[in-house]
Structure formats: structure tokens, C-alpha cells
Amino acid sequence: MEMNKKIIIIGILAIIGIALLVTAYKSSVSTKEHLLQDFSDFKMQYDEKKAQGYDVTEAEKFAGKAKQAFDRKEYKAANEILDDAFDALERAEKLSVIPDIVEEAKEELAQVKVASLYERVTDGALIGRSVDEVIDIFKETETDFIFRGWWRFYPCPESPSDSSGFFTPNQLVDATKKGYTYEHLENAITEIKKEVPDVIFCGAMGAQYMNAKERNPITGETFDRDETWEMALDPEKWDVSMSKYEFQEGFAKNHNWIGDGEVYDPDRVAFYYPDITNPDFQELFLSWAKKQIDCGADAIWIDFLFTQANILKELTGDPDHPAVVESYDAAYKIVDEIHNYGHSKYGKYIYVGSWSGVIKLPFTQHNLDFVTMTPSPDEIMNKNIDETTWETTITEITEKLGDIPIFAFIDWAGDGAPIAVFSQELDIEERIEMLKKMGAYFQSKGIIFVYPIHGGFMGDNAKILAFGKYKVYDCIAPEFTTYDVIKEVIRDTNT
């Protein structure tokens, strides 16, 4: 009898336990469905507010964090954060964007005739060239657009005497020697603007890498390896069948971040490929642009801005996959935020550009101010422009982006890249021939040729070095001596 009672009690408890599990499951499903509807409602209200010109930055940050919590199945936390997003949307204020400023800025960009690639305007100490001499180059070439005048690669000190504690004494010495501090940048732009007041100074940065240890130059916040790894791209976030480790390893190998045969170790590599949809990375990434603007930059060019969307499109085989759409939207959020920062803080329009590859994505394009293209290594090697490919791409750009300025420059990445071929494989007469050919062709197609003055990594295996020691191209270096030809091409194409 006693045994039967125990069996009955155990059975009742089991039934109660199952009932509780079922109730919890139904509650979880209900909460999940409720949240999905709330996210949908938020998106509708967000789009409406943004279209009306409201500053929805704070609301967007909360929504991004809510989505992260949702992806981790932390539904209660997601619900609370999403409530904060709705509240932020409610108190959003209208941006004071002045249409006349935008129109005037775009007209000014459309008038650019001579663009010069000079990366970086502050590294002259390495080759014995002062900022005044750099300015003389811009004057002699009648440059009105300085492309990639600054490139943010590593965390950058505020000044040679930076006291943040983030940089070691040796790092500060090295940065000072290379002119790689924000003080150097601000002083250089100030001097350039004094002598060439109407020139457009374009800084640059890349969306394809993040140092394992990072710093926000606006807030001073620092991030250790664990925190940056959290911001690294993980395709499985969208249930894409590639692990975070697998993706990061593949990208590191393709970009020579690890050596041949070296085992990928996230705890040892110098860089990660960041996730542009991650709110923490977005804030960090934007800080690198904002700091250049604070130093006087008029434009920001972003390398690999839409690459994440294109990579995920290839991985999923679906251009409408949430991973693709969210990555695309996040990229354009960066563009919008840079525009908003210039408007709100300085009352000026900051140009934002990236690669023309954005047209590969089947979405409505908006808000980019210019795009870039590059001749291929084969075109450089053969000294022959593939006119069919260029004209097809130009037509697609016009159809999708409208009448937007197109800049063409000789790109670089490593051995075999266009500038490596140009500098290492062509002799002086062939380089002259190709410069003249590109100048004439691009001018005939309404493309702005960015003349290669200074900058461009010529590859790890470069043998012809600028000034006998640097793997960075320089047209005045005795090994290349194309400066006079560039001035001649500029005169010929602008008369």
C-alpha cells in the first residue's frame, strides 16, 4: 500500500514537471513570437522616423543590443532592451540638416579635376620630405582632391606625448618617427588648408580588419583581445554553415595574417575580421572616422565597406538572406552616421566613398558620395585597358547610383596587386606609357584618375624599393621618377 502511494506521488510529480516544461516551452515560444512582432513594429517606426529626418542613432544602438540578446535566446533581456529602443525612438530629435549645404558640397565634389593619391601626408620624415614640400606637390599638380591622405591602420596616439597609457614608450617613438599621431594629422591638414584652402582632404580606413587590442580615440575606451574577438564576424550568428573559427582562419590565410602552414590561433593573431552589424564594433569603427573629421578631414573613404554583405551573399547563395540584408544595412548606417556627425558637430557635409562593388548587391542604393575602381594587374602588365569591362561597370554604376563621381586609382594589397605590377614589373618607359594611357582614357569617360604620387604597398617581395629602402611607392623616388610625367598628363587632360 505504501509502495503504491509512492508510485502515485512520483507519477503526480512527473505530470506536474511535464506540465511545467510544456508551459515554459509555450511561454518561450510565445515570448519569441511576441518579440519578433515587436522587432517588426520597431523597424516600421524606425524607418518612418529616419525618413522624416530624426536622429535615430540611440534607438538603433538599443535595437542592435536587443537583437544580440535575442540571438542568444535571452528573451527577457531582449524585451527590456527593445523597450529602451522604443523609448529612444520616442524622444528622438530632428537632425538639423541644411539641404543647401548638401547640394553645395555635392556640386563642389563634381568639380574635382585632379585627384592625387598621397598616403600619408605626415610620413615625410621617413624620406626627408616636409609637409611644406608635400604642399608644394599639391600646388604644382593643382590637386583639388587628396585621396587617402591618412590611413588608420593601427591604434593611433593622440600626440608624441600621449598619456593614455595604451601605448608603450617604443610605440610612441615609432609613431612619432612615422608621423602617425592625430596631432601630426591635424597640424598637416591645417597647413595644407592654409596654402590650398579649397582642396578636399580624404582620409581612409578599412572595414576588413580590427586589431586584437583596440582603442576608441573619441572616448578613450580600450578593448582587449577577448572583447575584440566578441566583435569578430561569426556567420553562425545567422545559422550560416560556417563557424566563426573557420571564417576567421580562412580570411587570415587569404590576407597573409598568418604564414604558410601556420595554425590559426585566435589568441595569437594580430587582427580579426569584424562584424559590421555588431553595435560595439560600429561605435568603435565610427570613432576612427570621427577622429579624422575632428582633425580636419573633409571626406572618408572606406575599404571593404560592403564586403561582408557580399561574402555572406556568396556563403548563403541568397541575396535576401537576413545575414546579407543586415550587413548591407549596417554598412549604410556607417555612411549615414558619418554624414550626421559632420552636420551636427561642424555644420559641414562629409563625403563618404567606397568601392563600386556595392552595385553587386540587389538593393536600393543610397547616400554614397563617390565610388572607386582600379585597373587590374593584367591591365597594368599588358599596358592595355579593358574598355569593355570598364564601360559595362560604368553603366551599372550610373544605373544604380546615379550621376556619382567615379575615382580610379592603382590599388594595392600585396605581391601581384596593381601597384606591385606597376612598380615591379614595368620599366620606366612602360610606366610612362601606362600613366598616359590611363589619364587619357579615364578623362574621356568622365572618370577622375587618382594620380599615384605617394603611397601604395608594393608587396613583401618587392625588389625595387623607393629611395632604396621602402616598399611604398613614391613617384619622385629615383627608382620611379614619374612625377614630371604625371604633371604632363594632368596638363594634357585638363586643357
- Neighbour tally for 198: CB within 10 Å: 8
Would you say 266 and 229 are in contact if contact means Cβ atoms under 8 Å apart? Answer: yes
Report how many helices (DSSP H) and strands (DSSP E) the chain contains, helices first. 17, 13
39 versus 52: the higher-pLDDT residue is 39
Q: Which CATH superfamily is domain 99-493 in?
A: Aldolase class I (3.20.20.70)
When pLDDT is cut at 50, 70 and 90, the band that residue 495 belongs to is confident
Is it true that the peptide bond before 120 is cis, omega within 30 degrees of 0?
Answer: yes
| 3-class state of residue 374 by DSSP | coil
Percent share of the chain, pLDDT over 90: 77
| Cell numbers describing residue 9 | 506521488
Q: What is the pLDDT of residues 285-322, one digit of tens each?
A: 999 999 999 999 999 999 999 999 999 999 999 999 99
Instruction: Read off the amino acid at residue 406.
Output: I
Read off the amino acid at residue 375: P
pLDDT number for residue 221: 97
Over 50: is that where the pLDDT of 22 sits? no
Helices (H), 255-386: 279-294, 307-316, 322-341, 377-382
Residue 98: pLDDT band (50, 70, 90) is: low
What sign does the CA torsion over 81, 87, 89, 95 have? negative
Output the pTM of the full model. Answer: 0.84
| Of 277-281, 282-286, 360-364, 406-410, minimum mean pLDDT range | 360-364
Backbone angles phi, psi at 226, to 5 degrees: -60, -40
Tell me which H or E stretch contains 243: none
Distance CA 26, CA 20 (A): 10
Q: Taking the domains of the chain in order of start, what are their residue ranges?
A: 2-90, 99-493
Question: Which range (149-153, 398-402, 424-428, 476-480) has the least confidence?
Answer: 398-402
- pLDDT, one tens digit per residue, over 180-208 is 999 999 999 999 999 999 999 999 999 99
